[in-house]
Chain A
Amino acid sequence: MINNTLKPKYRGIPQWFKIPEYKLTAEYFIKTLPLPDRVIIPLHQHIGPPSYPVVKIGDKVLTGQKIGDSDEFRGVPVHATVSGKVVDIISFTDVAHNKEQQAIVIESDGKDEWIDMQTIDDLESLSNEQIISKIRDAGVVGMGGAIYPAHLKLTLPKSGRLETVILNGCECEPYVTADYRVMLEYGEKVISGLKIITKLISPDNIFIAIEDNKPDAIAHLTTILEKSNLNSKVKMVPIKLKYPVGARELLVKALLSKEVPLEGRCRDIGVLVHNVSTAKAIHESVIEGRPLVEQVITVSGGVKNPQNLLVRVGTPVKNIIDYCGGITDEANQVVLGGPMMGSAVPDTETPLTRGTRCLLLNNNQIRNEVDCIHCGRCIDACSMRLNPSLLAKYSKAGRYDDCGEAYIDACIECGVCTYVCPASIPITQYIKSAKQQLSLME
Chain B
Amino acid sequence: MAKIKNDNSNKTEEKLIISSAPHLRSKWSVKRTMYLVILALMLPTAAGIYFFGFNAIFVILTSVIAAVATEYLVKLLRKKPFVMDGSAVITGLLLALTLPPTIPLWMAAIGSVFAIAIAKEAFGGLGHNIFNPALAGRAFLQLSFPAQMSVWIAPSGFAPDAVTSASPLSDAFEKIGSNPEIYRELLIGNINGSLGETSALLLLAGGILLIILRVIDWRTPVAFIGATALLSLVLGQDAVYQVLSGGLMIGAFFMATDYVTTPMTRTGKIVFGIGAGILTVTIRLYGGYPEGVCFAILLMNAATPLIERYTQPRPYGLGKK
Contacts and interface: CB of A to CB of B under 8 A. Distances in A.
The answer on A and B forming one complex is: yes
Interface of A: 16-17, 19, 95, 174, 249, 253, 258-262, 264, 268-269, 318, 321-322, 326-327, 329, 331-335, 337, 339-348, 360, 362, 364-367, 370-377, 379-380, 382-387, 389, 407, 410, 413, 415-416, 418-420, 422-424, 426, 428-429, 432
Interface stretch (B109-117, B122-130, B284-292): B122-130
A298 to B, nearest CB: 15
Given A326-B6, A424-B29, A386 B313 contact: yes
Given A318-B11, A386-B313, A418-B25, 20 more contacts: A16-B214, A17-B26, A337-B21, A340-B24, A343-B21, A344-B19, A345-B18, A372-B127, A373-B259, A377-B28, A379-B264, A379-B265, A379-B266, A379-B313, A384-B316, A385-B315, A410-B316, A422-B30, A423-B29, A424-B29
Interface in B284-320: 312-320
The 6 closest A-B pairs by CB, nearest first: A415-B22, A376-B264, A429-B20, A371-B127, A262-B317, A385-B313
Contacts of B263: 376
A249 B17 contact: no
A17 B264 CA distance: 18
Interface string B1-32: 11110101001010111111111111011101
Contacts of B316: 249, 253, 259-260, 262, 383-385, 410
B320 A329 contact: no
Contact of A376 (B29, B32, B259): B259
A383 B23 CA distance: 19
Q: Is the interface of A mostly helix, strand, loop or mixed?
A: loop
B313 A371 contact: no
Interface of B: 1-4, 6, 8, 11, 13, 15-26, 28-30, 32-33, 83, 85, 125-128, 214, 217, 259-266, 269, 312-321
Given A16-B214, A249-B316, A345 B321 contact: no
Contacts of B6: 321, 326-327
A364 B214 contact: no
Contacts of A329: 3-4
17 contacts: A261-B317, A264-B320, A327-B6, A329-B3, A332-B3, A332-B4, A333-B18, A335-B21, A341-B22, A346-B18, A362-B24, A364-B23, A367-B25, A376-B266, A386-B315, A422-B30, A432-B20
B126 A422 contact: no
Contacts of A428: 20-22
A373 B263 CA distance: 11
Contact of A373 (B2, B127, B312): B127
A376 B11 CA distance: 44
Contact of B18 (A337, A344, A370, A377): A344
Given A343-B21, A371-B128, A373-B126, A332 B318 contact: no
A413 to B, nearest CB: 7
Contact of B314 (A19, A345, A385): A385
A405 to B, nearest CB: 11
Contact of A371 (B2, B11, B125, B265): B125
Contacts of A384: 315-317
Contacts of B25: 365, 367, 418-419, 424
Which of the listed residues A318, A337, A423 has the most CB atoms from chain B within 10 Å of its own CB?
Answer: A423
Nearest to A16: B214
Contacts of B217: 376
A375 B32 CA distance: 13
A418 B16 contact: no
Contacts of A249: 316-317
A329 B29 CA distance: 26
Contacts of B30: 370, 373, 422-423
Nearest to B217: A376
Contact of A261 (B23, B259, B321): B321
Contacts of B8: 322, 326
Given A19-B24, A342-B21, A348-B13, A410 B315 contact: yes
Given A332-B1, A332-B15, A410-B316, A339 B23 contact: yes
B166 to A, nearest CB: 38
Nearest to B260: A374
Given A261-B320, A374-B264, A376-B265, A333 B17 contact: yes
Nearest to B24: A339
A410 to B, nearest CB: 5
B24 to A, nearest CB: 4
A386 B2 CA distance: 35
A392 to B, nearest CB: 12
A48 B314 CA distance: 31
Most buried by A among B13, B20, B32, B214: B20
Contacts of A268: 321
Contacts of A410: 315-318
Contact of A347 (B16, B128, B264, B269): B16
Contacts of A362: 23-24
Contacts of A374: 127, 259-262, 264
